[in-house]
Chain A
Amino acid sequence: MAIEVRIPTILRNYTGGAKIVEGSGDTLAALIDDLDSRHSGLKGRLITPEGGLHRFVNIYVNDEDVRFLGALEAKVKDGDSLTILPAVAGGALGFAAAAALVGGR
């Protein structure tokens, strides 16, 4: 058994188009290192040069946000399900337009 990782469309160029990949590790950081060893470049899109989670990336372990579970130190184990998503809150179209409007004021 391994940890199942769901990859969002916009990051599938790092996984050869695969929607779901598998990995292993005791913590989220170790799991991401493991994934990057087979899907080179993925880590750079999830973690900033300063070593934190990218602001616009949300990662969930069994549907729970890792930022509230210890972030990169969050414990993971075989059988867990990990979901990576870009940060887009409710009403994506509305806020994209709203943000652009405010920025352009």
Chain B
Amino acid sequence: MARYESLLDACGGTPLVGLPRLSPAVPEGAPPVRLWAKLEDRNPTGSIKDRAALFMVREAEESGHLRPGDTILEPTSGNTGIALAMVAKLRGYRVVCVMPENVSAERTQLLRMYGAEIIFSPAAGGSNQAVATAKQIAAEHPDWKMLFQYGNPANARAHYETTGPELLHDLPTITHFVAGLGTTGTLMGTGRFLREKVDGIQIIAAEPRYGELVYGLRNIDEGYVPELYDASVLTRRFSVGTRDAVLRTRQLIEVEGIFAGFSTGAVLHAALAVAHEAVKAGNRADVAFVVPDAGWKYLSTGAYGGTLNEAEEALEGQLWA
């Protein structure tokens, strides 16, 4: 279908494209091992977060948590804020994003264009400062509503009801599903759906491993595991460093012409690992992985050009996924 009543109706239904050049070669007579990319940048605001934002807002409307004219408060520097701002604009809500002041200019400009208001928390104080700022804002505005994507079942449900069925429809022979682990919504929702429908399917998480500055800010007792996370949905979980993520992101555009963000590189790195294992074992594999967004918002990092060392340096201390 190519005609929709509104932009919100155009959410999801993204293309699944084969990667014939990047898929590993198999010995003659061996079963095929194929990689497939689900292009989530083809959503209304250019990321997979449109699915979650739409489902979370709808659910909040149906349950009465959100009423016309309400203000939604979202502490995010990324795609969720942009997706929420678009959905909120079309459904009649106001969005306030709390974000660290050191995020990229593209994100700030996009959020403002979609109509979100931004409250900056000082970058110098790191996560402790972001927490303090957010708490202060919540205390001053008790009527503002949080959708809390890390613990909101509607986030995972968006993928159980849309991403999962789309994948199964487009690739009934799927053997592996690989996606990034952030809120865990994509993996939990899609993973649960595919496990119910496909015998023996492997659900694989690729977790971005940031530069030390990001982890150095916290101590272990302040760690956080999203409420949505259920380890039993996953088969395996990989940690992918900045260098590998950049390398794969570049490889994807060089070899297959797909311009993606760096989180895609992390996902592709894990997808290639399982694809090569399948070749070694002589197994047939149809490995589908998620491209959460395109690269536009990350151009100003400079990490698409120069050497890998330079790119790694450019992304040090940044939340690149």
A and B associate in one complex:
yes
With contact pairs A97-B75, A102-B146, A105-B138 given, residues A10 and B239 touching in the complex (Cβ less than 8 Å):
no
B residues 208-224 in Cβ contact with A at 8 Å: 208-210, 212, 214-224
Interface of A is mostly: mixed
Query: Taking CB as reference atom, which chain A residue is nearest B79?
Result: A91
18 A–B contacts from the bound complex (CB under 8 Å): A8-B212, A56-B224, A56-B225, A64-B237, A68-B231, A83-B239, A86-B220, A86-B223, A90-B183, A92-B127, A93-B100, A93-B126, A94-B75, A96-B128, A96-B224, A100-B134, A102-B148, A102-B151
Q: Are B220 and A45 in contact (CB under 8 A)?
A: yes
Is B264 part of the binding interface, using a Cβ–Cβ cutoff of 8 Å? no
Is B207 engaged at the interface, CB distance under 8 Å to the other chain? yes
Complex Cα–Cα for A10 and B216 (A):
6
A67 CB-CB contact with B under 8 Å: yes
Contact, CB under 8 Å: B148 / A65: no
Tell me, rounded to whole Å, the shortest Cβ–Cβ distance linking A5 to chain B: 14
Contact of A63 among B74, B149, B240 (CB under 8 A): B240
Interface residue from B130, B215, B321 paired with A96 (Cβ < 8 Å): B130
B73–A89 CB distance below 8 A: no
B135 at the interface (CB under 8 A from A): yes
In the complex, the answer to whether B214 meets A101 with C-beta atoms within 8 Å is no
Given contacts A90-B180, A96-B218, 10 further A-B contacts (CB under 8 A): A60-B238, A60-B239, A63-B239, A87-B223, A91-B319, A93-B126, A93-B130, A98-B75, A98-B134, A101-B73
Residues of B at the A interface (CB closer than 8 Å) are 73-78, 80, 98-100, 121, 126-128, 130-131, 133-135, 138-139, 146, 148-151, 180-184, 205, 207-210, 212, 214-226, 229, 231, 234-241, 263, 319, 321
CB distance from B218 to the nearest CB of A (A): 6
List the B side residues contacting A49 at CB < 8 Å.
Answer: none
Q: In chain B, what residue has the closest Cβ to A65?
A: B237
B238 and A65 contact, CB distance less than 8 A = yes
A89 touches B149 (CB 8 A): no
A20 is an interface residue with CB less than 8 A from chain B: no
Which residues 42-78 in A have Cβ within 8 Å of B in the complex? 45, 54-58, 60, 63-65, 67-68
A9 close to chain B: CB less than 8 A: yes
Cβ–Cβ contact B209 & A85, under 8 A: yes
* Shortest Cβ distance from residue B265 to the other chain A in the assembled complex, whole angstroms: 14
- Is A93 in contact with B319, judged by CB distance below 8 angstroms? yes
Among B128, B182, B218, B222, contact of A91 (Cβ-Cβ < 8 Å): B182
User: Bound state CA distance, A9 and B217, in angstroms?
Assistant: 9
Q: How long is the Cα–Cα vector from A77 to B78 in the complex, in angstroms? A: 39
Using CB atoms, name the residue of chain A closest to B131.
A100
What are the residues of chain A within 8 A of B150 when measuring CB–CB?
89, 95, 98-99
Contact B135–A91 (Cβ < 8 Å) = no
